[in-house]
Structure 1
Amino acid sequence: MPRLLVLQSIWGLDQCPGFDVWNDLETALQAVIDAGFDGAGTNLVRKERTAVTARFMNERGLAWEAQVLAGSADELARYADEAARLGAHHLNVQVRGPLDRVADAVRLMEGMEVVRRAAGLPVFYETHRARLSQDLPFFLRLLDALPDLPLTADLCHYVVAGEWDLPIDAAKHAAIDRVLRRAHAFHGRVATAHQVQAPIGGHHQPWLDLFAGWWRRGFDHWRARAAAGDTLSFMVELGPPPYAVVDSQGRELTDRWQEAQRLKDLVRGLWQQA
């Protein structure tokens, strides 16, 4: 039966009270698992952090997401080999960009697709600001040319980059749905028109409702095409400042770890409804 894996971003524990991911990562990872997460995610460029995460998760039969920034097929091939060797559940790729011409983007992704299809693990391309996928109309034209690109849907970037305000109109919902139909993994936080990471609930509840609705729809699309035994990952990715909102003294306005656990529970509830 298809399963949901809810992961916790290790970057999302940086500067988080009670955690020291720089000097005592194993304790942090144990706290993540004790809190009910199914694994974690880390960037391959942080070699020591990746080695600890891979060993910790692999020994326990748990999942971890490898993350990279790549700008060529050759670069992607090196990262894919490394992630497969280390036993990652999948490789999440932010593609360098943006580019000016869709034709150039298509050429770049065609080369990366050759690598992805031959890789020893699943490879997904993340939707993200300041990357190839930054501009949603541009990215949808890329999907017109290459409709089978497997994506990691990090939808907050389109909301804040486009300054989308509520209510979201039908055209924007339709555009997001095209991304969701290609989503093979998710990164999760709640954004607003002007904040990439907003506190959860309170006066931001309408934004939480928006993202929850999108995630639920993405789960529906994924389950419609999933085979028995497939796993979908959702990584809770509440980052440290400047992603997190702070007061005049630099203190975060919310308890980021508590919010991460709230998102985990919310996402699992959406999965049960899907």
Structure 2
Amino acid sequence: MKILFFCPRWGHAHVPWNVFVQQVKAAGYDGVETDVPADEKERGQMLEALAKHGLLLVAQHWETVTPDFDAHLPAYMERLQRMAAVSPLCINAQTGRDFFTMEQNGQLITAAAQVAAATGIPVYHETHRSKFSFAAHVTAAYLQQFPGLQLTLDLSHWIAVAESFLQEQQPAVALAVSRTRHIHARVGHTQGAQVSDPRAPEWEAALQVHLDCWDEVVRINKQAGLQQLTVTAEFGPPPYMPLLPYTQQPVASQWDINLYMKALLNSRYNHNPFA
């Protein structure tokens, strides 16, 4: 099974598309994960740059945040349809709100499944704070109710929400792992969704918790006969990235950390008999 690696546009939106995509290609990524611009000109620039360099696209939806459910549902569907129209490899959706009812969030999950069925573009729902999937035990209930529900697993959010490495929630984590088709490879800790630098020895234990989980995702997907699995190295810019006081300088380079994560996981999975 081949693991494909994607670079987040998050943190680099100020870089012109043609320059950014050249950097992504040179760094050895297979593609980019990004939202799909509503502006037709910018959307065209993005698609042209990706095509020129032979890079794949994971479309990322995060924009629908209105608390009014009656407005939220059609806006959510419109954005998913816009993303499907550019033929990404898949759509990673931050879906719903943590304060919506289970029925309301269920309607959004059903709507996403309808878009996927109509377009042939799979929609994976990201485990994310403030969304329907904000905690392991809550997401488990949705996974049980919706057998077709598949996830983008970002374990860091659940660890921060639970203020633990989820030792007491392993059945819920195992269920999520079995339904994961896309990984966000960020390392969190019990007090936040992003460690300062996963290369530092003080974060070795946190990194290992995530690696153990990702290993299981890879194993299950390989066992299921899938030919590929997608991973986005998704350490983010400030405020995810801690800043030094007064100078407001990042404590590490987002770009370098994500390259480290890509290299670590590429070596672990694409160049290892395990994978």
Q: The TM-score by the shorter chain falls in which range?
A: 0.7 to 0.9
- What 5-or-longer segments of structure 2 have no aligned partner? none
Could you tell me which of 16, 20, 29 is aligned with 1:37? 29
Partners of 1:99 and 1:119 in 2: CA distance? 29
Partners of 1:111 and 1:80 in 2: CA distance? 9
Q: Deviations over 1:23-75 (max 9, x none)?
A: 53322221111111111111124646543332222233321111113475544
Partners of 1:52 and 1:192 in 2: CA distance? 37
Partners of 2:88 and 2:232 in 1: CA distance? 14
Structure 1 moving runs of 4+ over 4 Å: 70-73
Q: Quote the residue 1:174 is aligned against.
A: 171
Q: Quote the residue 1:128 is aligned against.
A: 128
Relative to the length of structure 2, the TM-score reads 0.86
Q: Quote the residue 2:58 is aligned against.
A: 65
Is the alpha carbon distance of 1:231 and 1:80 closer, same or farther for their aligned partners in structure 2, counting shifts above 3 Å?
farther
How far 1:76 moved relative to its partner? 4.2
1:186 aligned onto 2:183: yes
Q: Quote the residue 2:79 is aligned against.
A: 79
Structure with more relative contact order (C-alpha pairs < 8 Å, separation 6 or more): 1
1:251 aligned onto 2:255: no
Which AA in structure 1 matches 2:253? D
Q: Quote the residue 2:141 is aligned against.
A: 141
- Asked if the contact 1:54–1:88 (Cα under 8 Å) also holds between the matched residues in 2, the reply is no
Q: Quote the residue 2:92 is aligned against.
A: 92
Which AA in structure 2 matches 1:133? S
- Asked if the contact 1:212–1:270 (Cα under 8 Å) also holds between the matched residues in 2, the reply is no
* Paired residues, number: 261
Q: Quote the residue 1:17 is aligned against.
A: none
- What 5-or-longer segments of structure 1 have no aligned partner? 15-20
Q: Deviations over 1:199-227 (max 9, x none)?
A: 11320111111111111111111112234
Which AA in structure 2 matches 1:24? P
Is the alpha carbon distance of 1:22 and 1:109 closer, same or farther for their aligned partners in structure 2, counting shifts above 3 Å?
same
1:157 aligned onto 2:157: yes
Is the alpha carbon distance of 1:121 and 1:203 closer, same or farther for their aligned partners in structure 2, counting shifts above 3 Å?
same
Is the alpha carbon distance of 1:73 and 1:32 closer, same or farther for their aligned partners in structure 2, counting shifts above 3 Å?
same
- Asked if the contact 1:76–1:115 (Cα under 8 Å) also holds between the matched residues in 2, the reply is no
- Asked if the contact 1:102–1:138 (Cα under 8 Å) also holds between the matched residues in 2, the reply is no
Q: Deviations over 1:64-105 (max 9, x none)?
A: 111113475544443333223323111111112113543443
Relative to the length of structure 1, the TM-score reads 0.86
